[in-house]
Structure 1
């Protein structure tokens, strides 16, 4: 039997890559995209002054875009040329959809078969429960994204037509629609002001907030809604996501409205309509967008605290939002409530939550809190800013939110690198990072004797 050197190399390559699990592949894919984006943004013709960004700033911007965060160290409109802005827009779109889904779409277009490994990568990327019908899901996501972003772009282009004229308003509509749907928060308003001048604009605020909510809920929820066409027939996952999102948005709006009502630095001088509209937008934004309709640095400490909580929770699984996800938050609350009541099982809507999901929810939360505290400690050593400002920045980066109290442009180089790493971890997912770094050992061949310890 002949066995060539070439064939031996091929077998070695196959075995080597089989050792890389989907989580590791996902993390590596995002990393390489960040490097490509960094190099593109460093090109002289990517910036208006023709002087390329230094590596740290370009890395930060590329990471923020691909991780659909929105934190920026340079102003997008005044710094980048059309080429640079388009690079950011493409990175945002790839980061929102996921590079593997785009790869599968290209493969389908070329008529190639989709192997098991690629299907597993999509499952990992979107936190899907199974790989069944995954190609149909990818096709639906692509069509859904184009339709929703297209509708948003048209509405925004028409609204901005009288202000900026055509075709600039069309470009603005496309850019902000993509940025909002993918929960990125990049804007072209200039001078770090985001959409503050449109705080009372019904059309812009509702369009952007709707795009944020739709993109953040998760593709699988909307696929479920399209298929079932009835709330009663929806999966438990979809019901929990929709209900928790509604509760958080309503509760967040009421709290921001109450806490900021008399604050002249935010909504204190607005009309009642504008107060309600701005409060609603600021309750939606932390879940996880990056836009802001009020001056964030003027928020009361209480509103900052509420915003931090909303940023940490994030949006739905399988979408463009970050955070620990609303399902994780809901499961933890349910588990605690049922334990207080003395129930051994966690039940909701006539369904029982598996114990492995409860463990996973607590693991994600504890892991996420640990990351946030670790990065916060590092920033206390490298940055000169109050603790609330540092915490706000850290949670915003981890939750891939992108709103800031003004610290981002003032970060040191070390701080920029640290926040970039945190944005990467927040986008790929804390549990995915843990699995990517852990050894593949799912079986434990033995068990130790059980012994109880005292708690509380």
Structure 2
């Protein structure tokens, strides 16, 4: 009876982590699409299909685009794209797991296996603290990247430094420059910073966690 109540078919039933994942992706993409179509997000308006494509690409960090991000979108639109990239980089799965943990629900064996398949090694009492570490580490690494890019780029502009730091760490590959980062090909500081951000974001947080466990002389999990 209790299980049936928790997973009932009624309109008010609690969503499973799988459904939260799908809903999270859909809501983020839809929100981004609508936000990009708002007045002030573009220089002269944008078609629905182009806004949808841009939003989907940003959330899924594919680096595909149908318009020039730096020239077509205003600062408002660029901030929206930046937020979508950040959400995609952090991972809707992490946000879904956070909702499950905060709600106090028990995670079924089936849902636990699904989450583990998405590179989340364990759902236990330390998961909430782990997710906090994920967010804190993200903003710390990106913050360092912003400062370094601001120092190494000759323009010394904060927003482009922020945008490219987040884009690099989230492996989004999106740039505000029409030539991407070609103009910095002889700038060792920019290249090394971007490379470090890409590697740090590409390795994933649980790789860093296992390295931290091993460095503390603790036994690593099978994921290590």
Q: Same fold (TM over 0.5)?
A: yes
Q: Unaligned regions of 5+ residues in structure 2, if any?
A: 1-7
Alignment of 1:41-190 (within 5 A): 41-48=36-43, 51-99=44-92, 101-102=94-95, 113-116=103-106, 123=115, 126-132=118-124, 133-160=126-153, 163-165=154-156, 169-189=157-177
- Give the direction of change, closer, same or farther, for the CA distance of 1:104–1:24 in structure 2 (3 Å limit): closer
Distance 1:54 1:198, change over 3 A: same
**How far apart are 1:114 and its partner, in Å?**
3.8
Q: Deviations over 1:267-305 (max 9, x none)?
A: xxxxxxxxxxxxxxxxxxxxxxxxxxxxxxxxxxxxxxx
Encode CA deviations 1:212-249: one digit per residue, 9 max, x unaligned.
Answer: 111111111111222321699544533xxxxxxxxxxx
1:13 matched residue in structure 2: 11
Runs of 4+ in 1 over 6 A off after TM superposition: 103-108
1:32 is displaced (CA, Å) by: 2.0
- Tell me if structure 1 keeps the 8 A contact 2:17–2:97: no
Q: Which one has the largest radius of gyration? A: 1
Cα drift, residue 137 of structure 1: 1.5
**2:214: which partner in 1?**
228
Query: Contact 1:23–1:124 at 8 Å: present in 2 too?
Result: no
Cα-to-partner distance string for 1:86-133 (whole Å, 9 max, x where unaligned): 00000011111123534776999xxx5543359959936843233122
Q: TM-score, normalised by structure 1?
A: 0.43
Distance 1:203 1:231 in 2: 34
Aligned to 1:195: 181
User: What runs of 5+ residues in structure 1 fail to find an aligned partner?
Assistant: 1-9, 239-456
- Residues 159-201 of structure 1, C-alpha deviation per residue, up to 9 Å, x if partnerless? 12xx224xxx111111111111111111111x2x111121222
Alignment root-mean-square deviation, CA: 3.0
Give the Cα separation in 2 of the matches to 1:146 and 1:159.
20
- In the TM superposition, residue 69 of structure 1 has moved relative to its aligned partner by 1.4
Asked whether the equivalents of residues 149 and 177 of structure 1 are also in contact (C-alpha less than 8 Å), the reply is yes
Count of residue pairs the alignment pairs up: 215
Superposition pairs of residues 304-343 of structure 1, within 5 angstroms: none
